[in-house]
Amino acid sequence: MGGVRRRKGKSARQTPPDPTVETTSEKASETPSESPTSRDGSPVRAGDKVRVVHEQPKARKRRTTAIFLLGSLFGIIAAGFFAKSNDFIGFPEIGELSMDNIFDVLPAGFSKDLRELVNGERDLLESYDAFSIGLKVRSEGLTVDHPIVMVPGVISTGLESWGTSNISRPYFRKRLWGSWSMMRALLTEKENWKRHIMLDKRTGLDPPDIKLRACQGFDATDFFITGYWIWNKIIENLASLGYDSTNSYTAAYDWRLAYPNLEKRDHYFSRLKSHLEMAVHLEGKKAVLVSHSMGSQVAYYFFHWVASEKGGKGGDDWVERHIEAWINVSGCMLGAVKDVTAVLSGEMRDTAQLNSFAVYGLEKFLSKDERAEIFRAMPGMSSMLPMGGNAIWGDLDSAPDDQPGQERSYGSFLNFRTDQNWTIPEKNFTVDAAMKYLLHTAEDWYREQVEGSYSQGVAHTTAEVNANEDDPRKWINPLETRLPLAPSLKIYCFYGVGKPTERAYYYRTPELGSSSYLNMTIDTTLTQGEIDHGVIMGEGDGTVNLMSTGYMCNRGWQMKRYNPASVKVTVVEMPHEPERFNPRGGPNTADHVDILGRQNLNEYILRIAAGQGEAIQDKVVSNIREYASKAKIYEEDE
């Protein structure tokens, strides 16, 4: 019980000490009625019960949301690969390949749901009142005022091949991420596709003879694959107001790269700086920066890079001179807990809750081992590992976002059943302990990439914050650095609330006889109460936890050390109110990706771009301010 069983072929290591992990003194009732069992009949110990006050999402909705969850590489591939619609999506790049052969081995219900998703996309595109928000705002007399730059989130930028080696020539100028070419490559030449999509494990840059680059322009981000819009609604409405390619710009990037390598390989931040300077020079107005999801982390990193002598050398007043407003949409400012499970075991809720047929099909294409390897070989995605440690995410006894009457704290992040015949850690893991375990058991190259590029700590004093301005590893973390010294900058935080979001997990070791090199896997056999296939849900937008999207906006940036220039921060929370029969949720969705099509979000963006953002008022409907006040991060005089 004192360690984790090692798989054959993997170098043996001792189980890492876990001084940050504490046992809980909490005891549940010992009455027989409170002793649940898992689906395989094994009992769940009373101390292992978890209670979360949330309505469980229905199974069909879970499947239809799989392809747009954070970093859901395998979900996107499975959905896009199996989707079939003769009158909506063609497969010109797949040639003579027959989809019918694939559907023959799938359960009818699974195939039907995927077809409905694609057909629903077609109906939505035809019925959605395109351009309406832009026309409405324009009818009020508003027009183009500030140039606008959009920074997309993770996975939403297409990646195309520019390699000319023998293995790359068939893919030249074809998208190996974000098109049907990706599906074809995965289906017919999976190993070659993996070689292209994964970065060099030691350098974090291009592998030998392979060259993938981010697509550029609006086409890079408006659609993921044919019919699946991402930024398209925002671009449509901006065009209705009067924007075009001369005064708006999409700052697409290769989201696989660690942030320092975005500059080293692609000169991304230098090009972004030059474009913003040129836009301000030509338009005579400061620019509005709109970022989404991981793009908000990129924008925050850029604010530090552009001012620093170790980066763009623009000086502390560069942001003040060039940026009118930063619109932070669903920004994962403190990471996402599901990123831990993605790189730890190649899993998240979407895979844990698939039925046995779907799991079999998915494992045939990308096993858990392959998924974990791919995620780790994309160091940019590890920028979303949770920041703030136990101060934000809680310890084994309590967490800021625990619900009244909850028997096991969310702070108990990775849980293990102790009455099973598995070799498991002796204690449950907090987020801090899980991060230490991940980095200790992962390959050296992965640990070096993460520790050399990012930091997940907390700076508790102004002196620490000021010192961190000279440490590029800290620039991604708003709990260790400050906002720009730009007193006239305006920050708008728009994010969704009210959609169950992964918060904690039950884990076990793989089955006996498994060939997996992974040490642990989600305990998908455990379904009881609020534990659904080993996954425990909390609050958020379906992908990013509420503590991540909301803490800095509602409390962190109210602290002097994190906001010394007293930059104004406006917060608007958007409740998730999806239309029942709309696969993308409709005009009032607050899903992490689909929020980009939400009507009032589009209207807010246009009003800010038109110079009328001051009229937008705070609207906080969740308990985030209560949760934030319980985080163990304080003003210095406290």
Sign of the torsion angle spanned by Cα atoms 174, 178, 179, 181? positive
- Continuous segment of H or E residues that includes residue 100: helix 100-103
177 strand-pairing partners: 159
Tokens 């898992």: give the residue. 38
Question: Which residues does 412 contact at the CB level (< 8 Å), separation at least 6?
Answer: 24, 50, 396, 428, 429, 430, 504
Rounded CA separation 90/102 (Å):
16
Query: HSE-up of 188 (CA within 13 Å, CB side)?
Result: 16
Asked if residues 495 and 482 have their Cβ atoms less than 8 Å apart, the reply is: no
Closest to 383 in 3D by CA, of 208, 107, 87, 154: 154
- In the 8-state DSSP scheme, what is residue 199? P
What length is written for the chain? 638
**How far is CA 406 from each of CA 310, 403, 431, 432, rounded to the nearest angstrom?**
47, 6, 18, 21
Return the structure tokens found at 316: 């502390």
- Continuous segment of H or E residues that includes residue 538: strand 535-538
Strand order in the sheet with 490-497: 248-250, 148-151, 287-292, 323-329, 490-497, 568-575
Which residues are identified as catalytic? 293, 541, 592
Residue 521's region, left for phi above 0, alpha for psi from -120 to 50, else beta, is: beta
Q: Is 497 helix (H, G, I), strand (E, B) or coil?
A: strand
Rounded CA separation 428/48 (Å):
10
Residue type, 272: L
Rounded CA separation 290/150 (Å):
5
Tokens 């209207």: give the residue. 603
Q: Following DSSP, what letter does each residue of 66-89 receive, concatenated?
A: GGGSTT-HHHHHHHHHH--BTTTB
Asked if residues 417 and 563 have their Cβ atoms less than 8 Å apart, the reply is: no
Q: Is 25 helix (H, G, I), strand (E, B) or coil?
A: coil
Kindly give the pairing relationship between strand 175-177 and strand 323-329. unpaired
Q: Following DSSP, what letter does each residue of 441-469 receive, concatenated?
A: HS-HHHHHHHHHH-------SHHHHHHHT
- Continuous segment of H or E residues that includes residue 291: strand 287-292
The secondary structure of 298-344, three-state, reads HHHHHHHHHHCCCCCCCCCCHHHHHEEEEEEECCCCCCCCHHHHHHH
Asked if residues 543 and 499 have their Cβ atoms less than 8 Å apart, the reply is: no
Rounded CA separation 280/262 (Å):
24
Rounded CA separation 394/572 (Å):
25
**How far is CA 381 from each of CA 224, 385, 492, rounded to the nearest angstrom?**
18, 8, 24
Q: Rg of the Cα trace of the chain?
A: 24
